Amino acid sequence: MKMRKLGKELTVSAVGLGCMGMSHAYGGQDEQESIKTLHRAVEIGVNFFDTAEVYGPFVNEELVGKALKPHRDKVVIATKFGFKIDTGRSQTGAMVGLDSRPEHVREVAEASLKRLGVEVIDLFYQHRVDPSVPIEDTVGAMAELVKEGKVRALGLSEAGAAIIRRAHAVHPITALQSEYSLWTRDPEGEILDTCRELGIGFVPFSPLGRGFLTGKIQKPEDFGTDDFRRSLPRFSAENMAANASLVKLLEDMATEKGVTTAQLALAWVLAQGDFIVPIPGARKIPHLEQNVAATEITLSAEELKTLGNLLAPEKFSGARYGQQAAAWTVR
């Protein structure tokens, strides 16, 4: 397995594993299948695993902790805080807003440690920037957890360049996690340049466009009724039909190169910089193994340029989030 650095603190596999879908958002979860996939990931060299308290909520951390307990000394586990969860809204709870108050940071960290069954959180992200709390106060509370040995490294998610700089001035930020793929390139320019300048790793989530860039998803009916993609503008029937021709271009290039469509999309992300570590989700072992194999694909400068131009984000139809979730993104 090829390895990459996140900041100065963490050495991780070039491709990590996003675990959200094992418990949250996409429906059709199978805990035993997920555990087998997590174990297989360790076997083939993946050592970077991503979860969050809000995935489930709560149960994804428990699943990841249980599955990875036998391999604790081999793995880097990242989790996140930052949402206000109303446990009275459903059986498991529901996101109802943001909360990055210092006391909440500590509260979530202590709970996450217990759910994961670990003594230290390797990478602790603020899940979304909370405009009601100065980032200096939030990162200050996170830094206290580092001093106490409860957290190894700090991260942000969906933060803009100015916030990143203010946070980094309080305590070194090891990684920024934001959505990034061929069809979502918002971080390009100022945000990625800031990460390069400050030595911050960049962790793209949804590097396969929430599955759309695999070419396997054609229409909303391909999702279960409890799949949250049904609520996303890009996954409306109209927008999926409009975007299908762009994915066909990706499929054609993949066929010419002798790789899968997903592998080509992931290889493009990997080629954008050696400080970039994507975390595609995978619940099944074959998908996991295909994603990891993308680390062996080499793309020429011409191929990268062609891909980038053919699938330029402005050619895709539909916003990535609805109005409420959009309010929780880049600040």
Residues catalogued as catalytic: 55
Cα four-point dihedral sign 318, 324, 325, 330: positive
Spatial CA neighbour of 116 closest among 127, 105, 104, 108: 108
CB-based contacts of 120: which residues, under 8 Å, 6+ apart?
113, 149, 150, 151, 152
Tokens in use for 275?
A: 């400080």
**C-beta separation of 322 from 231 below 8 A:** yes
Cα–Cα distances (Å) from 188 to 101, 125, 179, 264, 329, in that order, read: 29, 21, 11, 19, 15
Distance CA 213, CA 198 (A): 31
DSSP H helical segments within the chain, as ranges?
31-43, 59-68, 102-116, 135-147, 161-170, 190-198, 237-257, 261-270, 285-293, 301-310, 323-326
